[in-house]
Amino acid sequence: MVSASLLLPNPPSLYVIFICTHLLINNERLTSIVDWRDGRSLSVGSRGGEKQVGQLAAYCAAKAGVVALTKAIADETKGTNITANTALASVIDPPTNCSAMGSENTHQWVELQSLAQVICFLGSEAAKDVRGAAMAVYGSI
pLDDT tens by residue, 62-96: 899 999 999 999 998 898 899 999 999 987 766 77
**Which residues is 92 bridged to in the sheet?**
110
Residues 43-55: b if buried by 16+ CB within 10 A, e if exposed: bbbbbbbeeeeee
| Of residues 70 and 38, more confidently modeled | 70
**Which residues is 135 bridged to in the sheet?**
87
pLDDT band, residue 130 (cuts 50/70/90)? very high
Q: Is the dihedral of CA 65, 71, 76, 77 positive or negative?
A: positive
> pTM of the entire structure?
0.79
Q: What pLDDT, on the 0 to 100 scale, is given for residue 52?
A: 86
